[in-house]
Structure 1
Amino acid sequence: MKVTIITVCYNRKATIEKAIKSVLQQNYENIEYIVVDGNSTDGTKEIIESYQDRISQYISEPDSGMYDAINKGIKLATGDIIGLMHSDDEFYDSKTISRIVARFEFYTNTEGVYGNGVYVSNDAEERLIRNRIGGIFSLNKVKDGWLPLHPTVYLKKSVIDKYGLYSLNFKIASDTEFLLRYLYKYKIKMTYINVYIVKMRMGGMSTNTKRALEVLYEDYKIYKYHGLTAIQAVFLKKTIALRQYLVH
């Protein structure tokens, strides 16, 4: 079973090497690794190119944002399963992909697998800031604002081919629309794996507090578009998120 992992980036010189290394250090051999760079100018491209002999496909060109870049990666993918490794993040350990594949092989009817993740401080100490335990999948939980942590979600390519790419109508919350479309609208079969999959750094695009209001607004539009009670769903989603932060 081939697994395609996609990393998209733009001017991520400080973190891109850790992301790349965490993919290359996986003990699962049948990995197709695709890196899509948005024509970085800060030295990111040079770091990527130093690993180019171990990267399956690499392109660097201007794009229309993160989700456009992800879509480019998906179109290039030839794996049976597709997942993301964001440029600010890294896998929790070297056995992550092996565990994900084992779950797909055991539950042959499942169309997607997700797990747990942690958020750490963006410094040398990497202090634990937030703990995201996925929990067993439930459609009722989705209606009440719960979604799996996006970078822990791995989907069969056949499912993505059927239900479509990321919408470019949203700048920073298209992953919410993508997950709602797959989980709520099309009700794909999801399986939870109770292991940590990803370590995310606070301060990346998805964790930048300066974007909080824009995320709230986009989430509201997305939940409303999918016919859910938008204000309630967004409120519950943020309540769930706040409970995951750790007090130090």
Structure 2
Amino acid sequence: MNKYSLSIITINRNNAEGLKKTIESVASQSYKDFEFIIIDGGSTDGSQQIIIDHEKHISYWVSEKDKGIYNAMNKGISKATGDFILFLNSGDSLLEDEEILKKVVLNLQNKAVYYAPIYLENNNAIKELVEYPIMIEEKFAFTNTLCQQAVIYHLSVFDNNFFDENLKFISDWKMHFNLFKNKIAFIHFNVPFANYDVYGLTSKGETKYKAHKERLKTQFLDFPFYFFKYYGTNKRVFLRLLKMAFRIK
């Protein structure tokens, strides 16, 4: 089996236009020492034809019903053979620089989690650049999150360790915090390499609220020590967050 430096995993469901954009941004790269994996959730909007039309750029793809975002991502991990993994979901894209992957991959050396600034994209126009701290500290890891498209993982961090499929929206946050707690190094890149489609699932109004609620609930149930440590100093705020976490809606 061929061994690649990088595995790019794209998950998609009924976002043919976004999928085409993502594939084309990956295919335009001059650096080719990567595999491109597409996990499609049984789309019915023409996504499969988009995949077939670009099949020469794709190492592996499947289109079948899945159990959600993180089930699809775990399927991708199980097929990955690269030393590192980048999740670039349909609608997201690499920067319009055909050398950007080369610039990034040649700096990947350690068994670590690498992260970089990322551009938020709105209607195919750059909206803003999001910067992250040069050093990830405990408070940031618990109370904030890194856009997954800004993160490159060494494959070893997924040894017997997959995304929690019981969560619908914030399993990536949980993954990052657990990796931080387990002393996995987080290494900062100062050069962005990807655009994040702000029309993604957790960026929309109602789902954004549900994602926030899910994270608070997960923080309280799975990491109570840190929940009290960072939210418990102000009783009013603490009770408001706790109420939001368990509100039935």
TM-score, normalised to structure 1's length? 0.84
In 2, distance between residues paired with 1:186 and 1:15?
Answer: 35
Residues 39 and 69 of structure 1: is their aligned pair in 2 closer, same or farther, counting only changes over 3 Å?
A: same
- Other-structure match for 1:208: 204
Matched AA of 2:117: N
Contact 2:7/2:37 (8 A) holds in 1: yes
Question: Per the alignment, do residues 79 and 159 of structure 1 end up closer, same or farther by CA in structure 2, a change over 3 Å counting?
Answer: same
1:166 and 2:163 correspond? yes
**Is 1:26 equivalent to 2:29 in the alignment?**
yes
Larger displacement relative to structure 2 (66-75 or 185-194) = 185-194
**Structure 1: distance between partners of 2:231 and 2:197:** 28
What CA deviation, in whole Å up to 9, does each residue of 1:153-183 have, x standing for no partner? 1111122115x11101111111111111112
- How far is 1:133 from its partner? 0.8
In structure 2, the gaps of 5 or more residues are 238-249
Q: CA deviation at 1:144?
A: 5.6
Distance 1:100 1:223, change over 3 A: farther
Counterpart of 1:221, as a letter, is K
Give 3-state SS (helix, strand or coil) of 2:201's partner: coil
Shift of 1:141: 4.0
Aligned mates of 1:3, 1:228 — CA distance in 2? 34
Find runs of 4+ consecutive structure 1 residues off by over 6 angstroms.
Answer: none
* Alignment match, 1:94: 98
Shift of 1:110: 4.6
Query: What is the CA-CA distance between 1:187 and the residue it aligns to?
Result: 2.0
Asked if 1 retains the 8 angstrom alpha-carbon contact of 2:92 and 2:195, the reply is yes
Identity between Structure 1 and Structure 2 (%): 27
Residue equivalent to 2:244 = none
- Secondary structure of the residue aligned to 1:27 is coil
Look up the equivalent residue of 1:99 and give its one-letter code: K
Counterparts in 2 of 1:144 and 1:60: CA distance versus 1, 3 Å: closer
CA distance in 2, matches of 1:160, 1:34: 16
Q: How many angstroms apart in 1 are the aligned matches of 2:15 and 2:141?
A: 35
Q: Which moved more, 1:142-151 or 1:207-216?
A: 142-151
The one of 86, 102, 105 aligned to 1:83: 86
CA shift digits 1:64-111 (9 cap, x unpaired): 011100100100011111111110110113333222222223xxx451
Shift of 1:149: 2.1
Equivalent position amino acid for 1:81 in 2: F
Unaligned runs of 5+ in 1: 236-248
Instruction: State the Cα RMSD in Å.
Output: 2.0
Q: Which has the larger radius of gyration?
A: 2
**In the alignment, which residue of structure 1 is the partner of 2:123?**
122
Cα distance, 1:5 vs. partner?
Answer: 0.4
CA distance in 2, matches of 1:26, 1:173: 30
Q: How many residues are aligned here?
A: 226
Letter in 2 for 1:101: V
What is the correspondence of 1:1-248 to structure 2 with a 5 Å cutoff? 2-92=5-95, 93-105=97-109, 109-123=110-124, 126=125, 128-143=126-141, 145-162=143-160, 164-183=161-180, 185-224=181-220, 225-226=222-223, 227-229=225-227, 232=231
